[in-house]
Amino acid sequence: MTPASGVIPNVNPNDSIIVEPLCVVSEKTPEELSELLPSELKYLSADVLRICRENEVNAEFIAAVIRWERRTDLHNLFGWMTAEGKLKRFDSDLDCLEWVIPRFKRLYLDPDGRYYHGATVEGVSICYNDSDFWRAMIRQSMKGE
């Protein structure tokens, strides 16, 4: 879903990727998705797909965020912060996925969400990590580069 204006912010017209809404459910198999995850987290591919499908979140996007934001020592795969501004600690990687993905959907991808600026990499980045580098790395990771 794009903003009401129909214009997706911060999109380079020369960019070769097609921007899809991040609420499009992935058609990938666990084996295919595992190629987008860091090597130490490939075992999570089936869980990522399941939780993303349950919440209508794009699994390729989630895998890309995990690739760039993970803190494996805390089982924090998204760099999620507490209300006090500290990195949140989870009991397990699966606990993190089950806790974060529904909240990510509600806060960033739902038009009524607190941080919603469009269900695109650009829209999410406005409040999640507003840097050109992050947007480029997420796009590349979603394509398996």
pTM attached to this predicted model: 0.84
**Residue 4 scores a pLDDT above 80:** no
CB 113 within 8 A of CB 126: no
pLDDT per residue over 109-144, tens digit each? Answer: 999 999 999 999 999 999 999 999 999 999 999 988
pLDDT, mean of residues 82-111: 96
Rg of the chain's alpha carbons, rounded to an integer? 14
Domain residue limits, the chain: 30-142
- CATH number, domain 30-142: 1.10.530.10
CB atoms within 10 A of CB 51: 21
**Residue 121 three-state SS:** helix
Render pLDDT for 30-54 as a digit per residue (tens, 0 to 9). 999 999 999 999 999 999 999 999 9
Q: Which helix (H) or strand (E) holds 60?
A: helix 59-69
How far apart CA 71 and CA 77 sit, in angstroms, is 6
Joined tokens for residue 84: 């006090």
